[in-house]
Amino acid sequence: MAAVMPAPAASRHLLSGNEAVARAVWEAGVKVAAAYPGTPSTEMLEEIATYPDLYAEWSVNEKVSLEVAIGAAYAGSRAFCCMKHVGMNVASDALMTLTLTGVSGGLVIAIADDVGLSSSQNEQDSRYWGRFAHVPVFEPADSQEAYAMTLDAFALSEQFQVPVILRMTTRINHVKSIVTVGERVPHTGAGFRKDPARYVMVPGNAGKRIPLMFQRDRDLRVVAENSPLNFIEPGSDRRVGFITTGPAYMHVKEAFPDAPVLKLGFSCPVPFEKCRELAALVDQVVVVEEVEPLLETELKAQGIAVIGKEILPLQGELSPAVLRPAIARLLGEALPESEATTALQLFPRPPTMCVACPHLGVYYTLSQVRNLNISGDIGCYTLGAGHPWQAMDTCVSMGASMGIALGMDKGRGESDKDKRVVAVIGDSTFLHMGMQGLLDMVYNKGNVTVLLLDNRAVGMTGGQDNPGNGRDIHGNDAPRIDFAKLVSALGVKDERIHVVNPYELPVLFKTIREEVKVPEVSVIITDQPCVLIKDYHKLKPYAVDEDKCTGCGNCIDVGCPAIHVTRRGKEVKASGREVDLAFVRIESSVCTGCGLCLQPCAPKAIEHYVPSAPIQFAKGGCQA
């Protein structure tokens, strides 16, 4: 996308937290911004890339993105990096030493915690990184604060030559609220000043930086004590006072408008004196923080009497509906009346793969091959663990499919001695953290069949570009990695590398069946694009000839959401066995003609759709 003319200052904009941070990054004069996509952080960099006069990149993983940002900050420019919570696990190797060198130009790292697990494998609390790495943490409570705190974070970062963490959560990143914005202030970089004692972290140099880091902690605590980001609202009902951070502040204000509140926007290092000030105002203090009892534990260690996770949940989002009864119980009051009725019972509606998704063919095939243990990975294809395929047995972290597959192979017990081990990984996840695992597998002579699903996009987060599709963040041409050559270079034998069209089920089936029998590392690369990106081309849609459909239901096992059951029945086979029948139709308005469902259709009842009148558009069907 080309750079757009940024919106004028001061007017009121409806912005998500991600958009607000992006605006502030641009206004702060940032020169370099880097990230790897990850929900709920993705839109920050997507939005930043639309602004003029800065460099933005999709990096191959979060560690590289942080290192790119560090380099720019060493060079004296302002830099920004963002990631989802688990991304910092990957990037933390750099962070933990970055804290010793510090920065020259301001560096802000936005970490987006998926509190409530809308699209993540865990719910870890990123505020710990502030303590672990001895860097300050800011926690906005809405888009306006996300915007303002980003600007403040750059100023603090430069003042103390320290990276600053902006801790966000899904309820900040993805909530849209009103933001008043300003104008860009150009920032002139100081240039890189060689200083090995500071930038070359060998033991002799690093050891000398550690006391400086601790001194910085003490200095920052003084700043936090006096920061306008940390303020007390004295309230009028002094029975319970609250210490709170991030979006939890809004829930507290909504539920207890008259209560005294200490809001910590600059929450690490913790301003203990401010907390004592609040405690002195009230009968009891409740710490309201999402996920871990972090502040609570620190305050208790300081001898400040607070209540926290004794009465509030350790998991998931907080809300007024969670807070009101907890506080009523604490005060021995009657529980507040709710008008909420019990939810009606209904089927679940889990996310599904898209109509014609190239992964459908892969999982349909895997579900038909017996005796497999399938180590999976993170992306759209994680959905292969669900119905109808149930063809993924593990999912842990980015790239883990490789190492886990090798471990399953090497650690196989007697009961698994005839099992074949398969690893499934997407293109972007492979480039992110899977390559090293494959190298390890080859080097250590594993017996694993790797399915590398190359759909030319970071699918789950919205089809971002990556080195596998030959486009940069702006959609411009970029060098495109050749996966077959890459895995060959990692040591996989050329005769064990196959590039297969996942829509050709017989070829895919035969290739998988043969490769799992070979006791060494094989890589099967599927090469068709994600249906949601521009590389995908629709074909003529199909329809079911209802006179020919025998109700065998084979097509349903492909798992395409365009296939719908019209009626069910039962049939008694010659053997006397009763089988269920499901007669189907294809929602031709959403079918894009991939032809996967034709292949298992026994009676050949699926044919190209012939519109009788002008095309009838969908009455149902998922447009995903």
Q: Which of these segments, 209-217, 288-296, 381-389, 405-413, binds other proteins (CB under 8 A)?
A: 381-389
Distance, CA of 508 to CA of 502 (rounded, Å): 6
Q: Decide: 331 and 239 in contact? Cβ < 8 Å.
A: yes
Distance, CA of 383 to CA of 399 (rounded, Å): 16
**In terms of CB distance, is 108 or 424 closer to other proteins?**
424
Cα dihedral across residues 497, 502, 504, 510: positive or negative: positive
Distance, CA of 591 to CA of 583 (rounded, Å): 18
Q: Is 616 in the site for other proteins (CB under 8 A)?
A: yes
Numbers of helices and strands, H then E, in the chain:
19, 22
Q: Is 197 in the site for other proteins (CB under 8 A)?
A: no
Q: Is 565 in the site for other proteins (CB under 8 A)?
A: yes
**Sole binder of other proteins in the list 6, 55, 174, 412 (CB under 8 A):** 174
Q: Decide: 597 and 586 in contact? Cβ < 8 Å.
A: yes
**Sole binder of other proteins in the list 203, 218, 341, 506 (CB under 8 A):** 341
Q: Is 621 in the site for other proteins (CB under 8 A)?
A: yes
| Least distance (Å) between residue 112 CB and other proteins | 14
Q: Which of these segments, 199-207, 272-280, 485-493, 555-563, binds other proteins (CB under 8 A)?
A: 555-563
- For 519, phi then psi, to 5°, come to -80, 50
Q: Which of these segments, 114-122, 270-278, 432-440, 494-502, binds other proteins (CB under 8 A)?
A: 114-122
Residues 123-152 that bind other proteins (CB under 8 A): 142
Half-sphere CA count of 290, side-chain side, radius 13 A: 32
Binding residue count for other proteins, defined by CB under 8 A: 66
**Sole binder of other proteins in the list 387, 480, 510, 540 (CB under 8 A):** 387
Distance, CA of 499 to CA of 508 (rounded, Å): 10
Q: Is 196 in the site for other proteins (CB under 8 A)?
A: no
Q: Is 351 in the site for other proteins (CB under 8 A)?
A: yes
Q: Is 622 in the site for other proteins (CB under 8 A)?
A: yes
Place of tokens 């906005």: 140
Q: What is the 3-state secondary structure (H, E, C) of 97-165?
A: HHHHHCCCCCEEEEEEECCCCCCCCCCCCCHHHHHHHCCCEECCCCHHHHHHHHHHHHHHHHHHCCCEE
| Least distance (Å) between residue 42 CB and other proteins | 12
| Least distance (Å) between residue 317 CB and other proteins | 8
| Least distance (Å) between residue 464 CB and other proteins | 13
Distance, CA of 608 to CA of 230 (rounded, Å): 65
Q: Is 339 in the site for other proteins (CB under 8 A)?
A: yes
DSSP string, 215-238: HHHHHHHHHHHH-TTEEEE--S-T
Distance, CA of 391 to CA of 611 (rounded, Å): 36
Tell me how far the alpha carbon of residue 78 is from its chain's centroid.
25
Strands 137-138 vs 266-268: parallel, antiparallel or unpaired: antiparallel
Half-sphere CA count of 185, side-chain side, radius 13 A: 8
Q: Is 2 in the site for other proteins (CB under 8 A)?
A: no
**In terms of CB distance, is 450 or 601 closer to other proteins?**
601
Helix, strand and coil percent figures for the chain, each rounded to 5: 35, 20, 45
**In terms of CB distance, is 353 or 395 closer to other proteins?**
353
Q: Is 316 in the site for other proteins (CB under 8 A)?
A: no
**In terms of CB distance, is 133 or 453 closer to other proteins?**
453
Q: Is 368 in the site for other proteins (CB under 8 A)?
A: no
| Least distance (Å) between residue 325 CB and other proteins | 12
Place of tokens 């939810």: 343
Q: Is 517 in the site for other proteins (CB under 8 A)?
A: no
| Least distance (Å) between residue 176 CB and other proteins | 4
**In terms of CB distance, is 215 or 616 closer to other proteins?**
616
Q: Which of these segments, 89-97, 186-194, 341-349, 518-526, binds other proteins (CB under 8 A)?
A: 341-349
| Least distance (Å) between residue 234 CB and other proteins | 18
Q: Is 467 in the site for other proteins (CB under 8 A)?
A: no
| Least distance (Å) between residue 565 CB and other proteins | 5
Q: Decide: 515 and 498 in contact? Cβ < 8 Å.
A: yes
Strand arrangement of the beta sheet that strand 240-245 belongs to: 230-233, 261-264, 240-245, 284-288
| Least distance (Å) between residue 386 CB and other proteins | 8
**In terms of CB distance, is 345 or 575 closer to other proteins?**
345
| Least distance (Å) between residue 591 CB and other proteins | 15
**Sole binder of other proteins in the list 258, 546, 580, 607 (CB under 8 A):** 580
Q: Is 623 in the site for other proteins (CB under 8 A)?
A: yes
**Sole binder of other proteins in the list 380, 392, 453, 508 (CB under 8 A):** 380
Residues 223-262 that bind other proteins (CB under 8 A): 247, 250-251, 253-255
The SS3 of residue 608 is strand
Distance, CA of 227 to CA of 564 (rounded, Å): 59
Written as six digits, the tokens of 304 are 């400040």
Strand arrangement of the beta sheet that strand 420-426 belongs to: 372-375, 420-426, 449-453, 522-526, 497-500
**Sole binder of other proteins in the list 194, 218, 417, 619 (CB under 8 A):** 619
Residues 477-496 that bind other proteins (CB under 8 A): none
**Sole binder of other proteins in the list 202, 347, 370, 572 (CB under 8 A):** 347
Strands 606-608 vs 542-544: parallel, antiparallel or unpaired: antiparallel
Q: Is 372 in the site for other proteins (CB under 8 A)?
A: no
What is the binding site for other proteins (CB under 8 A)? Answer: 12, 14, 39, 116, 118-119, 142, 171, 174-178, 247, 250-251, 253-255, 317, 319-321, 338-344, 346-354, 380, 383, 387-388, 460, 462, 532, 556, 559, 561, 563-565, 568, 580, 582, 584, 589, 616-624
